[in-house]
Structures are given as C-alpha cells and as structure tokens.
Structure 1
C-alpha cells in the first residue's frame, strides 16, 4: 500500500514539475525598456500615436478623393503614405512594448515557479527512494510494521496538501502558457507591422522622388534659390542668423508675389480716360494666424521642452523628440521648403516657410527627401530620422521670435 501511495504521489508531482517551463525561444525581455512601468507608458504612447496617424491618413484619404486638382492630389497622396508609414512605426513600437511587458511577467513567474518547484522536487526524490525499497525487506526490519502504519498515516495526511500545492503550481503553469500565447500574438503583430512598414516606405520613397522631380521641373528658379540658400548657410555665423536671413528673403519674395500685375491697356473702342479697375483682393482670416494645421514632425517622446536650460546653460528655442531609428519625418505644417540639406553641427535640416511670417525649423534628420522651393502640407514627407540615437528637434518662429510649438498643435 505504501508503494502504491508513493507511486501515486510521484506521478502527481512529476506531472506538475515536469510540465513545460518558461525557457522558450525568444522569451527574453526587450532590452530598451528598463522596467514594466516604462514599457506600459511606451505602449500607451505608441497606441495613441498609432490612432493619430490612422486618423490623419483617413482624413487625407477623404481629401484626396474629393480633390479635383492634380497637384493637390499628389501632395495629399504623399502625406497619406507618410501617415501610413508612421502608423506602421507606431504599431512596431507598441508590439515591442507588449513583448517587454510579457517578458517581464514571464520572468517574475519563472522565479516564483523555481521557488515552488524546489521543495516538491526534494519530496519527489524521497518518494522515489521509498517506492524502490522492497516490501519484504521492510517487513524483516525491527519495527518495520509499526513504521509501515505510521508512514501510511503520514502519506494519507500529506496527499491533500500535496494535491493543493501542485494544483496552484499547475495554475501558474497555465498562466505561463497564456503569457506565451500573448507573446506569440505580439510577435505576429510585430512581423506584420514590419512588413507593412517595408512596403509603405518603399512606395513613399518612390512617390517622394517623383514629387521632388516634378516640383523642380515646375519651378524653374528653384535651383537658383537652392544655390543662394546654400551660400547663405555657409556665410551665416550661426543657425539663428541663417534662419533670419532666409526669413528676410522669404518676406521679400512674398511682398513681390503680392504686387499687382501689369494693367492692361484699354481697348481702342473704350474710354481711355476711365481708370482701370484693380482686382479685388480675396479676404484672409488673419494676417498673423499660425498654420491652419500643425503637427509634430515625428512620432516619439519629448526629451527636451521649450525654454528648458541646456547643458551649456542657454534656453532651448524648440522641443526635442526621441524617435525610432530611421523614423519617418513629416512637415509640421503647410508651406514652402526654404532650405533642405546639411548644416554644421545639426545634421540634415529643413526650413519650411509658412504664411504670415511663420517659419518651422526641423533638425536632426538622417536624410531629406524634399528640395528647395517644393510645396508641402502638414504631414508631407521630409525625410527620415538618424539611424543612431535619433533626436529630431522642432522650432517654430513668428517673425524670427521662437514660440512653443506645442501651443499650436492642432
């Protein structure tokens, strides 16, 4: 009877502690999140960015269907693809955060299971030794029959306790299997988002290249303007002076564009003394209004706010965003590209002129996909973030004075 009871206990314990453990391939926690709390914050932020990008893409899709102008359609399609790229990037970030959370939970559960398994394994070893002992040998030893009775009573009392403990252990292992299923789902979402990103980014690169060529062909003076901007960038003593010079040039260009065209000579049959009627200018909502729609240029985390003290002691004139390596960078608002290219100490930068004296400066890009003179809208692709330790900065200026861009997001 002792042997039967011991064997039953052994089978029960082996069934519990012999179930698959947690050391599954790829179950290590994602390294970029130090703890689960930070991973949850990143997950919530990524999901919000994913929702924002999806909403922007759907709005651009509706506008593209309603637009009858070819140029507006091309501009909207580029912004639409850029929004889809940012949506895929946010989906990847969300999947990575989910994996980090699951990995942290699995690691904690693994440690708990290790502590619970150790005493059960010792008990299993003792019961295995007892089950191998011949019953005849036990009967020949002095006091063996009395020991048999006591052992049987002890095993009968221990059986409910063992069952209860192994039941809890089996529950933990079921939770481990559920976590593994959740991890597999997150991995599938990650792979799917990566495939979408690869396809969308390829389409966007091709479309942006075509749009840049088309814009250069449509604007004959763009190359000369780009050369002048390059000369100014080399002559300016610092970035602030460079932006100021570009703003001044843009103001002059806007005033020239606003001048009325030549007055047509009256026809021979008309009254030569009658004054020609000047065209009535269309009213504008405000001569100082900021861009109608203004967004962040890249999906990421704000690591430096407007007006914060830098390491050198000066105050920042914009905000800095930490993003994914090679993340899609878009135009924060509608306008015209005044400069696109490298600038000493700032990597690749882009300066966008908006209406009413507003200017946006985007720095820290790894590469640019627009050219000087090109028209952009809020969400148009500008390029991508750096491949290593990316940090994209955004400055918004009104007539040369820095303002907080976060106050104008809409």
Structure 2
C-alpha cells in the first residue's frame, strides 16, 4: 500500500525531484528495504562488524530520506491549505457560479432582456469566460487530489517507518555484540590502566590530557598504517550530521573550542575516518565518552560526546570501523512523525566534538575533512 501511494503521488503540481515527497519517500523505502536485506545477510558475513556497520549506515540514510519526504509532504500540504485560505472567497464564488449554471434550465441561459443582440453578446462573453472557469475548476480538482494523496502518503508511511526504526535498533544491538566477540584486531601495545588513571586524575582540560597522552610510552611493534597526511582534505566526517560550529567559533556563552561541533541524530554510528590506533576510550572531564585515535605519529584525532564507545586501547582500527554510537534514546514513531514537519534541525539533538592535534597543538579540522561530501 505504501509503495502504491508513493507511485501515485506524481501530480503536475508537485515540486522538482529534489523536493518531490513521492520521489524522496520512494528512495527512502528502497534504502530501508535494502538495509533490511543487508541485516539478514550480515549474520553470515565473514566480517560481521563491517557488514553491520554498513547496514546501520543504510538504515540511517533511509530514515533521514523518509523524514525528508514526510517533511516535504507536510510543507506542501500546508502550502495548499494556505492557498485555499487566501482564495477562499474567490473559490466560493466560483463554485456558486458553477452550481447556478448547472441548475439553470438551458432555455433560460439563452434568453437576455436586451433581445437577440444581448443574448449573442452574453453568449460571446460566456464563451470567453468558460475556459477560464474550467481551468480554475481543474486546478482546484488537481490540488484537492494532491492534498488527499499527501495525507495518504503520511498515513501509509507509518508501517515502513516503524519497520525501519526497529531494524536500525536491531542492527545496533547486533553490532555491539559483534564488536564484543571480535578478537582479530591487531594491537600496537597493551593499555596500562595505572598510567591512564594517573593521567586522567592530573588533567584539568582536554588539551592537557591529549598532550599527556601523546607522551605516554608505546610499543615499538610496527603495524603498517597509510600516511595520514595523504588524506588531508578528503577525510569523511565520522558521523552523519550537520556542522553546528566551526573551528574556534564562539558558542552562545562565548566559549571557543579548537574543533568542530557536529549536530546529529540520537544513536548515530560514529566511524573512524582513517586507519588509526586507539589511544583512549571512555569518559573524560565534562566531554562525555571520548575516543582518541592516533592515525600517525604526532597526530591525534579526538571525538567527544559519544554515548557508547567500542574497542580497546592499543587496538588498530581500519578506516570506516565503528568507534561507537551517539547518545540519546531510540526514536519511536510517535516522536519521529511530529518532528518530520520541522525543518529547523530540532531532531538532531546530539553533538559530536571533533578535534585534530599535531604535536601539542590543535589544527583547523576544515583542512582535513571533506565538508562538501553529500
């Protein structure tokens, strides 16, 4: 039923492909269906962690697309209703004229008080006016049909939406278990809990902790990792979201931080932009859960604000490997649908702080990440 409604919602009054609710929602339905198949196939995948990570990405993209389709449907519906309200008097008069013409006997329509000449003139006027009246009536009919289809789209999306939300949650649960079960990750060194605890207790800022972390001894065990500087300008963002604040940009309280702040949806997956060694994972100061990666000697990547972190200190993760999940709770359909009509990004309630450090100093991440990637 849902796909049938999507196929039907293609009236001449629909917007372009980038804002057409039917096309957006159809794409979303396809993405969610593909994600469901991928989730089933991930059970037997050789690299189950990688398969589940891609599955979660597919669910996230499908749900975002579906939200966009529902949002566009709500916007279009509101626009039609506003147009009806602004044209209410004219539409009422038009309907009155059409109803009067329909109820009047044909002989009376052909008579005029001025005689045959007046009748002829009124007939000519009527002949000119009738196409315009007909066009307005057709326009009204098309818009009423579109309004009905928009409402049907929003109502019929509920089942697809519910399945997508449940599938995404199942994939996250499976990923957490798969990460716990994996044993194949190479290690450069083994964590020294006493050293980390001492560093945590003696650090009052993220900068102080990161600087101290870089000075901790490591194993000389060589594990080949691509040169980090080759990725400069092309790193993908570790989470799907929108840039909330840039490098050294002041927040509402006037505080400036030497990194990016990304607004994202609850429980979004966070992945490694580059192969790297996990130097720290866990709570830190007031940053929530923090993941610190070393992609290259003298470089650190800091990701703060996660709800859950994966992996162990000393492990070497590949590009695209899951680092953890954002905080928040799983959205139910009741929370999802009302937010769909809100285009202000109110649904992106979680924030991920990203910092890149070279030696003891932070550097502008905009020179490293590809912010123009769709």
Q: Same fold (TM over 0.5)?
A: yes
Q: How big is each residue's C-alpha offset from its partner over 1:65-121, in whole Å with a ceiling of 9 and x where there is no partner?
A: 9xxxxxxx63xx423422332232123222322332333233223333344453343
**1:243 pairs with 194, 204, 210, which one?**
210
Q: How does 1:115-264 map to 2 (within 5 A)?
A: 115-122=86-93, 124-125=95-96, 146=113, 156=123, 157-158=125-126, 160-175=128-143, 177-178=145-146, 181=149, 192=160, 195-196=163-164, 198-215=166-183, 225-226=192-193, 228-249=195-216, 252-255=217-220, 257=221
CA contact (8 A) 2:60 2:168 kept: no
- How far the C-alpha of 1:124 sits from its partner, in A, is 5.0
Distance in 2 between the 1:332 and 1:351 partners? 12
Please identify the structure whose Cα radius of gyration is greater. 1
Distance in 1 between the 2:318 and 2:147 partners? 44
Distance in 1 between the 2:260 and 2:248 partners? 8
- How far the C-alpha of 1:229 sits from its partner, in A, is 2.5
Which structure has more helix as a fraction of its residues?
Answer: 1
Structure 1 counterpart of 2:9: none
1:376 lines up with 2:317 in the alignment = yes
CA contact (8 A) 1:302 1:321 kept: yes
Structure 2 counterpart of 1:343: 284
Q: How does 1:76-91 map to 2 (within 5 A)?
A: 77-91=48-62
**1:407 pairs with 355, 367, 373, which one?**
367
Q: Which runs of 5+ in 2 are unaligned?
A: 1-14, 329-347
TM-score of the two chains, using structure 1 as the length reference: 0.60
Distance in 2 between the 1:119 and 1:315 partners? 56
- How far the C-alpha of 1:285 sits from its partner, in A, is 7.5
CA contact (8 A) 2:304 2:353 kept: yes
- How far the C-alpha of 1:379 sits from its partner, in A, is 1.6
**Which stretch has the larger CA shift, 164-173 or 334-343?**
164-173
Q: Which runs of 5+ in 1 are unaligned?
A: 1-35, 66-72, 139-143, 259-281
Structure 1 counterpart of 2:243: 302
CA contact (8 A) 1:109 1:172 kept: no
Aligned CA RMSD, in angstroms, stands at 4.8
- How far the C-alpha of 1:168 sits from its partner, in A, is 2.4
Aligned residues: 315
